[in-house]
Amino acid sequence: MLDKTIPQWVAVKTMSRHEKVVYNSLQSKGYEVYLPTRKELHKWKDRKKWVDVPLISTYVFCKIVKEDLFWINSEKSVSRVITFGDDVAIVSEKEIEYMKLLVSSEYELFIKSISELKKGKKVRVLSGSCEGMEGYIIKSSKDGNFAVQIDSISMMVQATVEKEYLQIIE
């Protein structure tokens, strides 16, 4: 449940392709906002360019108290704050930190709904910029696919990590 005095992270659903608009608008109003992005190569007939695109399409994360809920939901380009039933989906600090670590890592990232992924063993990354991070292994024939589960919005951020850098946690 969203607290009245202590700001908590929530997932804000935006209109399609309006993540940066919402991010800038909320940030200009003094909110702590996080928009995880990844680099993607865009190709046109005459050129290629690396572009920052949102890691999770139509999602921005914002730290708010309960009283801010109305103002966030009435913000232009915001569809709604994510809820499950009557409860606002709270995103933990740990989930935000994991997303920040993965985005800043050298790994190629993919986003999947949890329902699309097969459940695997829990693992810990042994080396690299995500050392110590815990998540799940997604079975693969050629390489280890490491995924960090973001329970509050039923999503996983998946990164390809070499199997030798993963340790199974019992």
* Tens-place pLDDT, residues 81-130: 999 888 999 999 999 999 999 999 888 787 776 655 445 778 888 888 88
What is the pLDDT, as a whole number, of residue 57?
92
Contacts of 41 (CB under 8 A, 6+ apart): 48, 49, 50, 51
- With 50 as the cut, is the pLDDT of residue 145 above it? yes
SS3 content of the chain, % helix, strand, coil (to 5): 25, 40, 35
Residue 135 pLDDT grade (very low, low, confident, very high; cuts 50, 70, 90): confident
Q: Do domains 8-91 and 97-168 have the same CATH topology?
A: no
List the domain boundaries for the chain.
8-91, 97-168
| Main-chain dihedrals φ then ψ at residue 104, nearest 5 degrees | -85, -5
Enter the CATH code of domain 97-168: 2.30.30
Read off the pTM: 0.75
Gap between the Cα atoms of 73 and 88, Å rounded = 12
State the CATH architecture for 8-91: 2-Layer Sandwich (3.30)
